[in-house]
Structure 1
Amino acid sequence: MDTTFREASADPRTAAVPLAHLSLELGHLYMDDFAAGPARLREHFARVRPWADTVRESCARTVGRRPRISTCFLIDDYFTRFSSPAEVVPQILQEAAAAGLVIDYLARESACAEAGQVRPARLVEARLVQSPPPGSTGARPPTSETGWLSNGERSPVDSLAEAMSTAAGWGPPHEIEAKRHSVFLDVELWDEQHGKRTWSCPFLAAVWQLLRLGLLRDDGQEVLRPAERPEEFPASWEALAPLVRLNPAAAPFAAYRTFSVLAGRFLPIEHAVAVILDQWSPEEPVLRQLADRARQEGIALPDSVRGRVEHLFNGPS
């Protein structure tokens, strides 16, 4: 009798995550928004409400039946720690309810960097595949060393030229997929000081989109599982779960597509997110799993990750 021995990790199981049809983001909260008082939140949710209604109606027409839509809200506790969940979260929920909105899930932005034993940002970094521009010589160090990612070819930099040679001189940057004229973007993904890495806002925003799309796995396992709403919100952000299900009747957190209603100031951030997603390689088993499930439900799912992400920018920039 022939026997074949295999490592247990040779065929890692890819866990399936529950999926809504759409993940609808109702906004972000940063320290300056909180410092402006309840009026700022009230104004924000009043602007979001009509667009949220429109998105729901559009999703229902696309799906052709009652759609599964979950809403989420992100709080910045990564770059600045302000106030406490005990004070901030009830205020957010109160102002959202006053505008006729229900927030199903509340997430901490620091969860995009670290969620328990999992490092979502590192998982995303490991699967970045930089698109080399035509004619690239490899003279520039890779993204993994520099922490910078662009959507094209940067301006040339003169190096030490041989004697009697002519310097290359300046040349314009060039977007790889330019439509006649280039819109070149160079994105800083992180910086490091004293050996400590700080992820950039655009990179964490890209991680956030991938979490909402259900595309991240850690050794085949789910990365971010929602915790149930506590009876009382804690006095520190560290004591609050990375992702909290506020509404027990909510549709799943992750979804086939995402839609974010954001203030105009987020436009450059989301442009950078698009550059990152264009150069991120999903795990094939995860991609195949979502495609199969979408097909079974009769859902048209774009092949590209970027094609599954939509935005509406509303309000001051």
Structure 2
Amino acid sequence: MSTTLEMAQNCSLVFFITGCSSGFGRELAIAALASGFRVIATARTIETLKALEDLGAKSLSFDVNSPPDTLNELANKAIAIYGQVDYLVNNAGFTSGGAIEEHSPTEVLEQFNTNFFGLVNTTNAFLPHFRARGTGTLVNIGSVASTGGQPSAGIYAASKAAVDAVSDTWAKELAEYGIRSISVQPGNFRTEVLKPTNGRFAANKVDGYAMAHGVVEFLSKQYAGNEPGDPVKGAQNIITLVTKNGKLPLRLVLGDDAFPKLETFYKERLAELEATRELSTGTSFTQA
């Protein structure tokens, strides 16, 4: 819990959070408010934000798939609410399940339009404000699925891997303006993300793909609603980290399931790197 002094210091800072109708977006808004920050909560359907308004959040109808000109107008409208935005939390997104081959080009584009292009366009709409002020923090919600390859989640994972890549680059490109960027990689938290009402599934079923289809079946019918992660605790950890002064890590791996998974992944990659050292190096031109 924040102290009275911390609450007083926080009260002037503003969070703008996308995708607050449920899940991490909603819990992040609640955690930020509880820590004394001001919050602008957004969703495509503003009626879903009534509970957050009752807690003190301002609400705004916001669709990350809007054209850039519209996003620019909405960003200006959001900034006008308090005269500033200090933290941009890019949380809006959805999951698309099924083997990669089963996804149509339209389904792939829909996944990237929301999870990646919408995130980039939304960020670009706020960057002039951050650059002019010489401060700001980008909090990009990725996924542990972006690393290692998970059957049935290839397109979703690819969109989140793209989020990791731009977040890492923003951290370097924007440092000269005093702007920080971090990608959060949550594991499996008990939100609505895996429920049929939120997730989408590739329409073109291909015979076989036993592993991918088995994972979809398990996640949607048995695992959804039984995930180990508590989104309340996860959201609080995100708020605690990103509101600390100083340099942020490039990534926050979040979850008791996610941390050992990525720890094992990176150890295996380092071992592979060393095993292929001889073929990986020695490829430069020989000096005369």
TM-score calculated relative to the size of structure 1: 0.27
Higher strand share: 1
The answer to which structure has the higher helix fraction is 2
Q: Per chain length, whose mean CA-contact separation is higher, i.e. which structure has more relative contact order (CA < 8 Å, sep 6+)?
A: 1
Tell me the TM-score normalized by structure 2. Answer: 0.29
Larger radius of gyration: 1
